[in-house]
Structure 1
Amino acid sequence: MELGFRHQLGLVCVILLFPALCNCKQYFTKSRATYYGTYDGYGTPSGACGYGEYGRTVYNGSVAGVSGLWRDGAGCGACYQVRCRIPSLCDMNGAYLVATDYGQGDRTDFIMSPRAFSKLGRNKGASETLKKYGTVDIEYNRVPCTYTSNVLFHIKESSSNPGYFAVVILNVNGARDITAVEMWQRRQQRWEGLRRSYGAVFDFANPPTGEILLRFQLGYNNWMQSKIPIPANWKPGATYDTKLKIY
């Protein structure tokens, strides 16, 4: 049986549109999640990513330690949507959180702050019931991070030794990992790589005097360079605005 022209055209349109329709669907991975306790419900400043106080309060304290998603620290700063799987108790949108720490136990992918875990429930009563479960079945999906401010460079307090420089990069939007950080060497007129010391902390021995210009790689082929250098009189524990915003 031969198809008429209109039927053929309609079939072609369906074939062309089908991949786009498929790509619009979000795919969630099934896992388990639990939570840890803090006095105020926020995260912990001692997280293994090295974020310090930022790792306690970012996303209004909706943070988590991850295990399989840790990836030797490359998973630090990744954002996720996490939904629990008890229809009578669980909110359909769940919690949006940031990975700021390493944590594992009881076959979980997420050990969440109390604030993050409470967002799994449909209401306050449901959230309290979920906390009594302790560990719940969940599904999760990586989502782009959404910060309104510029990317920041935070100089770690360990950089008090003049022969050592360590930095952590904050407020990186999107859904790509920071895979490398490089420092411009004026004398050699070249970029030189920093070492991933631990978590999201990158360091460099014997940094150059004067201003420090950094760039970082998102994924494997996208370099982002700060619009202004870190000033020559940089201080350990200080945070500097890059004037760079990622959309």
Structure 2
Amino acid sequence: MGFAAKSYCSLLCMLVLLTTICYSQDGYVSSRATYYGSPDCFETPTGACGYGEFGRKVNDANVAGVSMLYRNGSGCGACYQVRCKIPKICSHDGVKVVATDYGEGDGTEFILSSRAYARLAVPNAALELFPHDVVDVEYQRIPCRYPGYNLKLKVHEHSKFPVYMAVVVLYQAGIYDITAVEVWQADEQEWRCLRKSFGTVWDLPSPPSGPLTFKVQVSCNGGTKWVQMTNVVPSKWKAGVVYDTAIQLS
């Protein structure tokens, strides 16, 4: 178990670093969608991505649980344009959602929040849409945009100062997947890889003493780059606290 985790960490650390500019994919993909509260879905109330309350409120609560797009947590934080196909009920633009959870349904890719599901409809037609527990949709990935928000690093509530730390990256803009997280071990002058705990939660036992510098590896369309967050977490960090990085992905 320890050897496998160590090998996986080493593999991530040795990936070739490329700088890429990521744009929205062209074309829509056909699928189906339902909504939380529908009898046709199996939701994850605690949030499989590990975002907690952020996963319910981000993007004005237009969020979704996804199945295949979850990709073992790498798909957490991705943004999608979703639109349904019922004439006279569904709007042309549909809704922009953020994937913040894992969920399975009746052949569905998306389990939308009730707010997001309502926005699939044209004005004043949401009440006609909700009786359709499952609808045909088409979707495409789009850049996430958070005007006025920097990239943030949250110390997860499961953390226990100073012996165990877990972190979650919030407000990742653009079209990026977070594929690795490292922290600088100043006394040994080396970067330490964090283990993916679940969803988008990364952790390590016996974290270095602070202030802590992290870097995250982000990927898009096969290219990767590292984004460094210098001294972002103070020496006496606290579980549940969100720290601003003063930088943003684009």
TM-score under structure 1 length normalisation: 0.85
Matches within 5 A, 1:1-247: 26-37=26-37, 46-124=46-124, 126-148=125-147, 149-219=149-219, 220-247=223-250
Select the structure that is richer in helix.
Answer: 1
Select the structure that is richer in strand.
Answer: 2
Task: Report the residue type matching 2:228 in the other structure.
Answer: Q
Distance 2:230 2:146 in 1: 18
The higher relative CO (CA closer than 8 Å, separation ≥ 6) is in 2
Q: 1:32 touches 1:110 (CA, 8 Å); kept in 2?
A: yes
Alignment: residue pair count: 220
Moved over 4 A (4+): none
Q: 1:228 touches 1:243 (CA, 8 Å); kept in 2?
A: no
Task: Report the residue type matching 2:237 in the other structure.
Answer: W
User: Could you say what the CA RMSD is over the residues aligned between the two structures, in angstroms?
Assistant: 1.9
Aligned to 1:184, the other structure's residue is in SS state: strand
Task: Report the residue type matching 1:100 in the other structure.
Answer: T
Distance 1:127 1:205 in 2: 48
Distance 1:65 1:44 in 2: 8
Q: Larger radius of gyration, structure 1 or 2? A: 1
Q: How far off is 1:203 after superposition? A: 0.3
Q: How far off is 1:162 after superposition? A: 2.6
Q: How far off is 1:45 after superposition? A: 7.0
Q: How far off is 1:245 after superposition? A: 1.6
Q: How far off is 1:187 after superposition? A: 1.9
Distance 1:217 1:165 in 2: 19
Cα distance change, pair 241–208 in 1 and its aligned pair in 2 (3 A): same
Structure 2, gaps ≥5 residues long: 1-22
Task: Report the residue type matching 2:146 in the other structure.
Answer: Y
Task: Report the residue type matching 1:167 in the other structure.
Answer: V
Distance 1:34 1:229 in 2: 39
Cα distance change, pair 44–62 in 1 and its aligned pair in 2 (3 A): farther
Task: Report the residue type matching 2:179 in the other structure.
Answer: T
Q: How far off is 1:211 after superposition? A: 1.3
Cα distance change, pair 215–47 in 1 and its aligned pair in 2 (3 A): same
Distance 2:118 2:140 in 1: 18
Distance 1:53 1:209 in 2: 28
Q: 2:65 touches 2:101 (CA, 8 Å); kept in 1?
A: yes
Distance 1:198 1:184 in 2: 22
Which has the larger displacement, 185-194 or 28-37? Answer: 185-194
Q: How far off is 1:87 after superposition? A: 2.5
Distance 1:25 1:152 in 2: 26
Task: Report the residue type matching 2:137 in the other structure.
Answer: I
Distance 2:71 2:194 in 1: 18
Distance 2:103 2:246 in 1: 33
Which has the larger displacement, 183-192 or 57-66? Answer: 183-192
TM-score under structure 2 length normalisation: 0.84
